[in-house]
Amino acid sequence: MDELQCPACGERDGLLGHRRGDLIDVTCEACGQQWVRDPNAIPDCDRCGGADMEGAVKAIVEKSRGSQLSIVATQVVYLCRSCDERVLASYRVGRSPLMPDQLPTE
């Protein structure tokens, strides 16, 4: 069981949860990030099989006119604390959304 933490700003205390069936809608009072928590669906790591996962916010980008990429939405993803250690370490510093592994092409 991992502890509940805002994937966007790291807040642990100011989180509001509203149960909705099996899911929990969580709102962070500190930064306003909202996400849905499915207590049964925190994935195990597909590389090492570990369950030590940490939430992070990932950007969904679209290519707008020209070659500019703009963030159209964010989603919460779960990263492995051992396999993705370096990504998580830099994410915790700035807390800016992770960019997708594959950027859209024309």
Could you list the residues that contact Zn ion (CB under 5 A)?
6, 8-9, 11, 28, 30-31, 33, 45, 47-48, 50, 80, 82-83
Q: Quick one: 60 or 87, whose CB is closer to Zn ion?
A: 87
**Shortest distance (Å) from residue 44 CB to Zn ion:** 8
Beta carbon nearer to Zn ion, 8 or 98: 8
Closest distance of CB 79 from Zn ion, Å: 9
Between 16 and 60, name the residue whose CB sits nearer to Zn ion.
Answer: 16
**5-10 CB contacts, 8 Å cutoff, 24+ apart:** 5/54, 5/55, 6/30, 6/31, 6/33, 6/55, 7/33, 7/35, 7/54, 7/55, 7/56, 7/57, 7/76, 8/33, 8/57, 8/74, 8/95, 9/33, 9/95, 10/92, 10/95
